[in-house]
Structure 1
């Protein structure tokens, strides 16, 4: 199961654009997002563009064989 951001990159951009008409406190309250989060989105957008707003959180799935090989390597190194 992967994590999903509450807002898409396009929605984050729309929220950032709303800052031109309102202050950050009003926007944060309206969307139930922290002011620090909105500032972070702004920095990401400023330096990386729309790609910076895209979610990069993914849970990784590893096969049983891969996990077993890691355990065996660890046990050999002790």
Structure 2
């Protein structure tokens, strides 16, 4: 799942979620999360015929999380929904 989708799901801003991840990078091994470039996500979106206009203005790489990464994210994210 992408960071912006998880931020929406757990009721926080994407920048807050990314800050929590960056503060706890040692808890996220490479098989839990990776960074996807904007171009990669755009290509993926075009292949799956989906569109999310909320990401078009983004200039930084996206974080993509595996199932284990999402579980770890919940342990570092301060949100009532998490």
* TM-score in terms of structure 1 length: 0.32
- Larger-gyration structure (1/2): 1
Give the structure, 1 or 2, with the largest relative contact order (CA under 8 Å, sep 6 or more).
2
* TM-score in terms of structure 2 length: 0.31
Higher strand content, 1 or 2: 2
